[in-house]
């Protein structure tokens, strides 16, 4: 297979080589790593892969590479980290265009100088491309919307090497299909994202967190509803809950006098034990810990929260596992980290218990990450609505299943 | 089988009133809000349920008959223009609000529900539906979904795509699928993101779940008069640059003001070369503070008169001039083209200067009305069709303005859609590969290309390639039931 490496090297200006033991995707080892520095080189990699019949998985910083199902085969890891340019930051227009390989933290410092920010704040601070490809979510989503709401343009390389653009550099734009939304959260199965244009927001003048301990599921539900229907307009409302109890914490952002006034209102809403701080709680914006590295993503209708919490408690009781939950209560997403004597069979039962109750909280249950030993026999993505259409989309974009085959829903 | 044979097949099932083949009645549906494109459909079906829609679409799929879905027919790009051999599926009878779910901040509606009606229903519970296209008194949610409609307040609140969380959807094969729901992040591809704004080319939404937004505690609106658009533009830049995101920032130039005064006597300040309407909303403590800032930026940039709305009545008066601007232009010109382009907001002063150059060179007047906060221009190109050569010159000016938008890194449409009208402009903004890649999505949903064919992507011409030309005032606007933005 010397000619493969030769062709890959030719495609990326020599920046390709054999994979090491660290180059795995959800436990599946790769054979080669190619590091294109441009969209054109990415296209050349895809064409070389097509010529040799190789599968390709895109990778940024690799922080979420274990998410999803294991791909059937990983011939080439396409590393985007050399495509890390800040192509454009038009501060007056509140937009930026950035290479997929630029770290989120680097971009955050780029923007901070102009008093701006990108409203994407996931716990895993990898690259821009990784955040988009996995639709990574964080507390500020309540205020700024999800990743797909902030993507206004995209450059992608198709499985056959064709380079395509969608959207543009202006926030308001309805010309053509919004492929940026389709590619967001597609886990590298439809194309390789090489450049993204984002809508930005001004950084707030003032921030304040208001937090309160809450004991019961019903108490959590009542306070979340009270905040949701109030006029305090939090930028985020986060819940941290383990067997020992729970904390609700909301973030207020705005002008100095505005935040001061709203803090008083928020304290009243959260009850006598509430307090406020200029610093976030230590757990703010982080994933729940799990000694086994098992992370389950749950979604729910806003008012389904207490039923979701009851279902999690039920799943713990039924399996002997313990769960730590962190979630964005008014967005309707949560992550659960599992602890206790975990076996593959117990994890599977935990997930099954929740899925059987998913209609009660109106959401879905996805095993985001778990070690191979605990993933066995677990359907990580679970039931999927409109799967036929999704297969059809995949077939059109990647008929030969070259991109991350098997990693996404329904074996896509 | 052709559409007429299909009519005979559908009539016993859907009822004879729901299937229209009479030529005079069919002609009622020959155009949407872009009235100079006209095609009489072979058949019109008035759908009353998801089952009806699915049944009609399945029959169309079985016989390769094209279909076009239509809501209230207010679109400005010919997106609901019928197909001569096809079925027009009219959704306006499906207008039940199925659920106002306050606890989940969601509503579930049928696609024929009128945009403003939904907000009115939600308001007693302290909520509203944020996307507010200015045809909101008459346009349907289903049409909004197809077009990804915007509105004056989308600067702060986003577009339809940001507010739809689920649809029940009939695919072009007639299958009924549920995409998304009340909860976020359904596992799999973001088909919702693909479907919203696809202009009816991927299928038909038969039920829509939307996010409801908490009514703001406070709303404050000011009207500022400037000597010219450069200074008004500088004020907008100062406001946005200071980190203020108003709910809306709207601008009109001198010709647009003249037209509005002639039409609705809105009483804008005398001698204004440009007016800005700035609206802030949110928690009262925030609004008060930022409103003072905004007022300061307007004065610092040359505003010679600032009026602050004391109440809802005054606020409505400010908006009246703005919202009537399109139709009002009919008072100062027998014919006009409504353009819809987008530029980066900071290019506003230079683009406006260039538009006035183009206008002067061609001897064609252009009135400018726009969503200044997000750089969405609505130049109104004025002409008199009875004067030979004027229409052609107006079309050339209108096209040159779109080119200007593209050269400045903008878009050929910010909210009216591509439809039948702008498909020919798509290659100016996108490469063949871009368009080919978009069509992969089309192929995935509609391989036989029967769902609203001929829209969005460049295709054989329909009714010639005349850009959006309005003859006088749109009938709906004249009748007082719609305002055209």
Contact: B283, A389; criterion CB under 8 Å: no
- Nearest-by-Cβ selection for A384 from B105, B187, B375: B187
User: Which pLDDT band, with edges at 50, 70 and 90, does B1 fall under?
Assistant: confident
Cβ-based contacts of A363 with chain B (< 8 Å): 183
In the predicted model, is pLDDT for residue A29 greater than 50? Answer: yes
Residue in chain A closest to B203 (alpha carbons) equals A389
| A219-250 residue pLDDT tens | 999 999 999 999 999 999 999 999 879 999 99
Chain A segment 97-116 residues within 8 A of B by beta carbon are 115
Disruptive mutation site among B185, B284, B339 for chain A (greatest number of A CBs within 10 Å): B185
- Nearest-by-Cβ selection for A185 from B103, B190, B437: B190
> Running DSSP on this structure, what letter comes out for residue A93?
G
| A100-153 residue pLDDT tens | 999 999 999 999 999 999 999 999 999 999 999 999 999 999 999 999 999 999
B470: left (phi over 0), alpha (psi -120 to 50) or beta: beta
- Nearest-by-Cβ selection for A299 from B183, B217, B412: B183
Average pLDDT over residues A81-104: 97
C-alpha B368/C-alpha B366 separation (Å) is 6
Nearest to B138 by CA among B485, B481, B478: B481
- Nearest-by-Cβ selection for A177 from B177, B345, B441: B441
Q: Does B429 touch chain A (CB under 8 A)?
A: yes
Q: Does B307 touch chain A (CB under 8 A)?
A: no
C-alpha angle B30-B36-B40 in degrees, rounded to nearest 5: 20
Three-state secondary-structure class, residue B436:
helix
- In sequence order, which residues have a C-beta less than 8 Å from that of residue B66 and are 6 or more positions away? B60, B83, B85, B86, B87, B449, B450, B451, B452, B453
Q: Does B135 touch chain A (CB under 8 A)?
A: no
Residue ranges of domains in chain A, CATH in brackets = 1-203 (3.30.465.10), 206-277 (3.30.70.920), 295-375 (3.30.70.600)
- Nearest-by-Cβ selection for A390 from B191, B240, B409: B191
Query: β-pairing, B43-46 with B127-128?
Result: unpaired
> Running DSSP on this structure, what letter comes out for residue A342?
-
Tokens 């080439």, residue?
A76
Cβ-based contacts of B426 with chain A (< 8 Å): 175-176
Nearest to B364 by CA among B395, B388, B340, B338: B395
Contact: A255, B375; criterion CB under 8 Å: no
Cβ-based contacts of B196 with chain A (< 8 Å): 178
Q: Does B427 touch chain A (CB under 8 A)?
A: no
Tokens 């010919």, residue?
B78
Q: Which residues of B105-137 are buried (b: 16+ CB within 10 A; e: fewer)?
A: bbbbbbbbbbbbbbbebbeeeebbbbbbbbbbb
C-alpha A70/C-alpha A380 separation (Å) is 10
Nearest to B421 by CA among B454, B378, B447: B454
Residue in chain A closest to B241 (alpha carbons) equals A92
In the predicted model, is pLDDT for residue A281 greater than 50? Answer: yes
ipTM: 0.97
User: Which pLDDT band, with edges at 50, 70 and 90, does B280 fall under?
Assistant: very high
In the predicted model, is pLDDT for residue B470 greater than 80? Answer: no
B2, burial (CB in 10 Å: exposed 0-12, middle 13-18, buried 19+): exposed
Beta bridge partners of B410: none
Contact: A170, B409; criterion CB under 8 Å: yes
Tokens 């055209």, residue?
B484
Cβ-based contacts of B438 with chain A (< 8 Å): 164, 166, 176-177, 179
A250: left (phi over 0), alpha (psi -120 to 50) or beta: beta
pLDDT for the residue B325: 85
Residue ranges of domains in chain B, CATH in brackets = 1-93 (3.30.43.10), 97-214 (3.30.465.10), 218-323 (3.30.70.2190), 333-422 (3.30.70.2740)
- Nearest-by-Cβ selection for A181 from B190, B240, B433: B190
Contact: B283, A185; criterion CB under 8 Å: no
| B95-145 residue pLDDT tens | 999 999 999 999 999 999 999 999 999 999 999 999 999 899 999 999 999
Q: Are A117 and A111 in contact (CB under 8 A)?
A: yes
């Amino acid at each position: 297979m010397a000619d493969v490496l030769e062709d890959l090297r030719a495609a990326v200006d020599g920046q390709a080589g054999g994979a090491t033991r660290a180059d795995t995707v959800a436990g599946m080892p790769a054979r080669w790593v190619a590091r294109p520095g441009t969209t054109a080189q990415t296209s050349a990699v895809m064409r070389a892969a097509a010529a040799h019949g190789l599968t390709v998985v895109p990778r940024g910083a690799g922080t979420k590479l274990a998410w999803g199902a294991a791909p059937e085969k990983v011939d080439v890891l396409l590393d985007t980290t050399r495509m890390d340019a800040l192509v454009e930051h038009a501060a007056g227009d509140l937009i930026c265009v950035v290479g997929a390989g630029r770290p989120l933290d680097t971009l955050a410092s780029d923007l901070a100088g102009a008093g701006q920010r990108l409203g994407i704040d996931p716990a895993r601070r990898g690259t821009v491309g990784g955040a988009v490809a996995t639709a990574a979510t964080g507390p500020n989503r309540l205020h700024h919307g999800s990743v797909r709401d902030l993507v206004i343009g995209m450059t992608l390389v198709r499985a056959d090497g064709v380079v395509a653009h969608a959207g543009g550099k202006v926030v308001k734009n309805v010309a053509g299909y919004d492929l940026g939304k389709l590619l967001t959260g597609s886990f590298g199965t439809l194309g390789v994202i090489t450049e993204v244009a984002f809508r930005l927001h001004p950084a707030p003048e003032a921030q304040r967190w208001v937090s309160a301990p809450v004991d019961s599921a019903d108490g959590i539900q009542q306070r979340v509803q009270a905040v949701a229907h109030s006029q305090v307009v939090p930028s985020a409302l986060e819940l941290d809950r383990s067997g020992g109890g729970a904390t609700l914490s909301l973030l207020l952002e705005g002008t100095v006098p505005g935040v001061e006034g709203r803090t008083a209102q928020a304290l009243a809403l959260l009850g006598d034990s509430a307090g406020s701080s200029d610093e976030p709680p230590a757990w703010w914006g982080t994933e729940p810990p799990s000694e086994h590295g098992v992370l389950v993503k749950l979604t729910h209708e806003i008012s389904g929260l207490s039923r979701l919490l009851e279902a999690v408690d039920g799943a713990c009781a039924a399996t002997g596992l313990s769960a730590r939950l962190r979630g964005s209560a008014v967005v309707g997403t949560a992550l659960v980290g599992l602890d206790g004597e975990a076996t593959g069979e117990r994890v599977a039962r935990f997930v099954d218990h929740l899925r059987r109750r998913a209609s009660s909280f109106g959401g879905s249950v996805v095993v985001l990450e778990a070690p191979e030993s605990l993933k066995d026999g677990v359907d990580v993505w679970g039931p999927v609505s409109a799967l036929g259409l999704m297969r059809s989309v995949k077939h059109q974009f990647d008929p030969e299943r070259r991109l991350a085959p098997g990693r996404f829903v329904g074996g896509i | 089988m052709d559409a007429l044979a299909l009519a005979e097949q559908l009539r016993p099932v859907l009822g004879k009133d729901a299937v229209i083949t009479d030529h005079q009645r069919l002609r009622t549906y020959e155009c949407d809000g872009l009235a100079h494109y006209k095609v009489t459909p072979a058949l019109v079906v008035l759908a009353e349920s998801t089952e009806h829609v699915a049944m009609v679409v399945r029959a169309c799929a079985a016989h390769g008959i094209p279909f076009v879905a239509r809501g209230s027919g207010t679109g400005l790009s010919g997106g609901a223009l019928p197909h001569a051999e096809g079925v027009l599926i009219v959704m306006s009878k499906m207008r039940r609000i199925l659920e106002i779910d306050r606890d989940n901040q969601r509503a579930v509606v049928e696609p024929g529900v009128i945009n403003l009606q939904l907000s009115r229903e939600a308001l007693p519970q302290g909520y509203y539906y944020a996307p507010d296209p200015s045809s909101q008194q008459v346009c349907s949610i289903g049409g909004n979904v197809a077009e990804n409609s915007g509105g004056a307040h989308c600067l702060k609140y986003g577009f339809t795509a940001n507010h739809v969380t689920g649809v029940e959807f009939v695919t072009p094969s007639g299958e009924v699928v549920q995409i998304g729901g009340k909860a976020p992040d359904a596992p799999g591809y973001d088909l919702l993101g693909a479907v919203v704004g696809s202009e009816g080319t991927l299928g038909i939404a038969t039920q829509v779940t939307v996010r409801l937004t908490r009514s703001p505690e406070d709303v404050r609106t000011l009207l500022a008069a400037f000597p010219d658009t450069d200074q008004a533009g500088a004020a907008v830049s100062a406001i946005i640059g200071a980190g203020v995101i108003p709910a809306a920032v709207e601008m009109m130039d001198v010709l647009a003001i003249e037209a509005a005064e002639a039409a609705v006597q809105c009483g804008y300040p005398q001698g204004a070369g440009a007016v800005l309407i700035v609206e802030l909303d949110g928690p009262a403590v925030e609004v008060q503070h930022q409103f003072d800032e905004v007022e300061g930026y307007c004065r610092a940039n040359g505003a010679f008169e600032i009026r602050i709305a004391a109440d809802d009545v005054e606020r409505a008066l400010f908006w009246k001039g703005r919202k009537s601007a399109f139709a009002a232009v009919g008072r100062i010109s027998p014919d006009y083209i409504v353009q819809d382009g987008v530029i980066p907001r900071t290019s506003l002063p230079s683009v406006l200067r260039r538009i006035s150059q183009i206008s002067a060179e061609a001897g064609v007047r252009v009135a400018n009305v726009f969503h200044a906060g997000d750089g969405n221009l609505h130049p109104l190109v004025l002409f008199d069709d009875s004067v030979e050569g004027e229409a052609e010159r107006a079309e050339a000016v209108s096209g040159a303005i779109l080119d200007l938008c593209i050269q400045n890194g903008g878009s050929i449409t910010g909210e009216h859609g591509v439809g039948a009208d702008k498909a020919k402009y798509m290659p100016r903004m996108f490469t063949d590969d871009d368009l080919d890649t978009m069509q992969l999505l089309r192929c995935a949903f509609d391989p036989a290309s029967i769902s609203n064919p001929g829209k969005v992507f460049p295709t054989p011409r329909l009714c010639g390639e005349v850009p959006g030309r309005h003859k006088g005032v749109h009938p709906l606007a004249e009748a007082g039931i719609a305002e055209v933005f």
